[in-house]
């Protein structure tokens, strides 16, 4: 890290949008490093999101859906982002995603941390929340989530999903590590 009175290690000389849709913008940035050399960065710019670990004291509530980029149905914790007209704080985003995807509301929330989603290629990150005191409600899934399934798993079963390659979402696995650490303190 550099202090505020030093030149940045890498500075942007030029940025151009190469692709854009409602969820993300992809830019190609020409950069200059501290030694004067130049290079390119492809950067995905997207909204931060929230990820929820719904825990009923014995089991986690997970969702499974087909993830087109990897061509597989996989388990993960509920997660996503919503437009600013529907939620303004990370906790509100988490509550919306929990209800939409898992059909749950929570009476107790704990913020476990903030992580970057992939800071070598993307600007976005995500807040991780533990949701407890769960109550079932009808899910309100978006059209993209119509194939989503939900299920409950013990901690050992979640680790089994990871071991068997049925849960490969790095965000979910990192969030589980935050939860494990929070339990130890």
Are residues 104 and 20 part of one domain?
Answer: no
pTM: 0.89
- Both 101 and 176 in one domain: the answer is yes
From 124, 126, 105, select the one nearest 114 (Cα to Cα).
126
Mean pLDDT of the chain: 92
Backbone angles phi, psi at 161, to 5 degrees: -60, -40
Q: What is the pLDDT of residue 2?
A: 44
Q: Are residues 32 and 79 in the same domain?
A: no
- Among 134, 71, 74, 73, which Cα is nearest to 102's? 134
* Same domain? 34 vs 55: no
Q: Which has the closest alpha carbon to 43: 64, 14, 9?
A: 14
Note whether residue 143 is domain-resident: yes
**Same domain, yes or no, for 86 and 160?**
yes
* Structural domains of the chain, count: 2
Q: How far apart are CA 9 and CA 6, in angstroms?
A: 9
CATH code of the domain containing 124: 3.90.79.10
Give the pLDDT score at 145: 82
pLDDT tens-place string over residues 74-110: 999 999 987 656 568 999 999 999 999 999 999 999 9
Asked if 15 and 65 sit in the same domain, the reply is no
Same domain, 86 and 29: no
Output the pLDDT for position 142. 82
Q: State the pLDDT at residue 112.
A: 98
Q: Which residues does the chain have with pLDDT short of 70?
A: 1-5, 83-87
The answer to the question of residue 4 being in a domain is no
C-alpha to C-alpha distance for 31 and 15, rounded to whole angstroms: 9
Same domain? 32 vs 67: no
Domain enclosing residue 18, as ranges: 10-46
């Amino acid at each position: 890290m550099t202090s505020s009175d030093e030149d940045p290690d890498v500075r942007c000389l030029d940025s151009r949008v190469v692709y854009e849709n409602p969820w993300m913008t992809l830019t190609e940035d020409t950069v200059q490093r501290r030694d004067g050399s130049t290079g390119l960065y492809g950067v995905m710019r997207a909204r931060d999101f929230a990820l929820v670990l719904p825990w009923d004291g014995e089991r986690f509530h997970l969702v499974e859906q087909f993830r087109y980029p990897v061509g597989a149905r996989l388990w993960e914790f509920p997660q996503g982002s919503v437009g600013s007209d529907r939620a303004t704080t990370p906790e509100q985003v988490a509550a919306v995603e929990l209800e939409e995807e898992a059909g749950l509301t929570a009476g107790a929330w704990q913020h476990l941390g903030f992580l970057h989603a992939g800071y070598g290629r993307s600007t976005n990150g995500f807040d991780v929340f533990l949701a407890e005191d769960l109550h079932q409600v009808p899910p309100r899934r978006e059209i993209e989530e119509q194939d989503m399934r939900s299920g409950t798993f013990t901690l050992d079963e979640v680790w089994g999903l990871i071991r068997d390659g049925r849960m490969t979402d790095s965000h979910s696995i990192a969030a589980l590590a935050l939860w494990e650490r929070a339990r130890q303190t």
